[in-house]
């Protein structure tokens, strides 16, 4: 009975596209701060990654409100409506499909300082 349960869980996890903790070998690098003040230095928050596909990046403010969403790996501090976001700490969420075909989520924080 126990073997059947484990196999069923593996089939369901695979069918639903859920990632197993040891299946993600993707390289992800995200800086912890950026300064979008148009001086040409560190003006964009850019995540560097390899072997990831079907990307969605979401930026949340401290209140948990979604301030930016994109299928790219960069953010210039704009709210997506043409207004600049305020100085502060934001949370980024990266959803992607890895090379093994599993969907994965990574999170982190970014300090925006103008």
Q: Convert the pLDDT of each residue in 11-27 to its tens digit.
A: 445 555 554 554 678 89
Total tally of structural domains belonging to the chain: 1
Question: Quick check: helix, strand or coil at residue 55?
Answer: strand
CATH of the domain at 30: 2.60.40.1220
Mean pLDDT for the stretch of residues 52-77: 96
**Alpha carbons 109 and 11: distance in angstroms, whole number:** 34
Q: What is the pLDDT of residue 9?
A: 43
> Does 57 fall in a domain?
yes
Mean pLDDT for the stretch of residues 37-55: 95
The sign of the CA dihedral 33, 90, 40, 50 is: positive
> Does 12 fall in a domain?
no
Q: 21: which 2 tokens?
A: 């903790």
Band of the pLDDT at 108, cuts 50, 70, 90? Answer: very high
Q: pTM of the entire structure?
A: 0.77
* Domain coverage including residue 47: 23-112
């Amino acid at each position: 009975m126990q073997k059947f349960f484990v196999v069923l869980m593996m089939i369901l996890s695979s069918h639903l596209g859920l990632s197993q903790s040891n299946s993600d070998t993707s390289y992800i690098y995200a800086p912890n701060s950026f300064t979008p003040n148009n001086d040409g230095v560190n003006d964009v928050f850019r995540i560097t990654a390899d072997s990831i596909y079907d990307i969605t990046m979401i930026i949340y403010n401290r209140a948990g409100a979604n301030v930016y969403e994109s299928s790219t790996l960069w953010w210039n501090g704009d709210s997506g409506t043409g207004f600049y976001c305020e100085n502060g700490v934001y949370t980024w969420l990266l959803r992607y499909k890895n090379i093994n075909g599993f969907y994965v989520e990574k999170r982190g924080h970014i300090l925006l300082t103008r």
